[in-house]
Amino acid sequence: MERGAGTRPETVRGGVAPTSPEVTVVVPARDEVVTIDACLDSVLTQEGVDLEVVVVDNGSTDGTAELLRRRAAAEPRLVVVDNPVPSIPASLNAAVAAARGTWLVRVDAHSTIPPGYVARAVARLAEGRWAGVGGRKAAVGRSPVGRAIAAVLNSKLAVGGSVYHWGTEESTVDHVPFGAYPLALVRELGGWDEQIPNNEDFEFDQRLRAHGELLFDPALEIAWNVRETVGDLFRQYRRYGRGKPAVALRHPGGVSPRHLAPPALVAWLLLAAGVAVRRPGLAAAAVAPYALAVGGASVAIARTAPEDADRRAVPAALVAMQVGWGLGFWEGVRDLLRDRLR
């Protein structure tokens, strides 16, 4: 793995840590002062497992770094690594370098896990059948709009074949969102590719699958806080889409129709916009099937949203995800072409 920082991350250990923890829980964090306490509380109260927690601060400016140091001073199992490069794969690699466990479990800084989560993930890995294990990424909103967005992200109508959003049955998959892995295997693979700033977890899983299958276990459920506005959701999915072409180029076998549908949609909408200048009726007819599909899906998803959700945000969230991802994909294609022409 190539370190992108060029500087050695600073590591802070508090108190006297266990000499050989069974598990290292890895938490990359940047500007997560609102959610990091709840995340760490859920990790540090895990049952039935000896663990350390390595949190990598990615250049936070909102007080996250100071909060982490205060907690580390009082908690010997908590290790804080300062890695100011704004890169998730670089943060994950810094955590791997500091890890001392046999197993590695990734947890997002704006999520929480139930008390038996880590123990179950380790038990599944110890079966010896799996190169990696992950579970359901259950979206949670903290505001009325956020709860509507969460309902969208938890629906198969919105996320299609991404089983980890909605699956209820154990299966082998091509990707798990917050994986648990044997630490030795992570190191053997060189960690996460720092040349892939987005979709780094999917890219890693494609290399991992050469060493064994990935297990989706729905009994492993992580509560993941969503973006609380439609605009933030759009920007998030645009970033996701932008990273996809580089990963697809390296792992073409990991590309499926669900990955190509959003960029095809964006191309179709842009074509319709061009036609609308001269033939608005034809453009409207071309867009109508998509509008009807969004409307029908929105009605179905809104029925699953909690009563205090702002259901008016559901169709906007659907469009933001699909158009954001598709637009980002074409931007990623542009980036690749620019790199080739240099």
Stretch 62-68: mean pLDDT, rounded?
93
Taking the C-alpha atoms of residue 33 and residue 44, their distance in angstroms, rounded to an integer, is 17
Number of domains in the chain: 2
Q: Which residues contact 62 (CB under 8 A, 6 or more apart)?
A: 31, 32, 33
User: In this structure, are residues 7 and 77 in contact, taking their beta carbons and an 8 Å threshold?
Assistant: no
- Per the structure, the complete domain to which residue 286 belongs is given by 249-341
In a domain, 3, yes or no: yes
Residue 100 has pLDDT above 80, yes or no: yes
User: In this structure, are residues 56 and 94 in contact, taking their beta carbons and an 8 Å threshold?
Assistant: yes
User: In this structure, are residues 82 and 10 in contact, taking their beta carbons and an 8 Å threshold?
Assistant: yes
In a domain, 306, yes or no: yes
**Would you state the pLDDT for residue 340?**
82
Greatest CA separation found in the chain?
A: 73
**Would you state the pLDDT for residue 10?**
61
Stretch 51-65: mean pLDDT, rounded?
93
Query: Of residues 38 and 160, which shows the higher confidence score?
Result: 38
Q: What is the pTM of this model?
A: 0.86
Q: Which residues contact 97 (CB under 8 A, 6 or more apart)?
A: 9
**Would you state the pLDDT for residue 2?**
45
Residue 1 has pLDDT above 50, yes or no: no
In a domain, 275, yes or no: yes
> Which of these three, 52, 81, 112, is where a domain ends?
112
In a domain, 304, yes or no: yes
In a domain, 186, yes or no: no
What are 241's two structure tokens? 């889409």
Residue 15 has pLDDT above 80, yes or no: no
pLDDT tens for 204-229 read: 999 999 999 999 999 999 999 999 99
The CA radius of gyration of the chain, in Å to the nearest whole number, is 21
Q: Kindly state the DSSP code that residue 35 receives in the 8-state scheme.
A: T
**Would you state the pLDDT for residue 256?**
80
**Would you state the pLDDT for residue 16?**
47
In a domain, 177, yes or no: no
In a domain, 57, yes or no: yes
Q: What is the CATH number of the domain that holds 28?
A: 3.90.550.10
User: In this structure, are residues 328 and 239 in contact, taking their beta carbons and an 8 Å threshold?
Assistant: yes
In a domain, 94, yes or no: yes
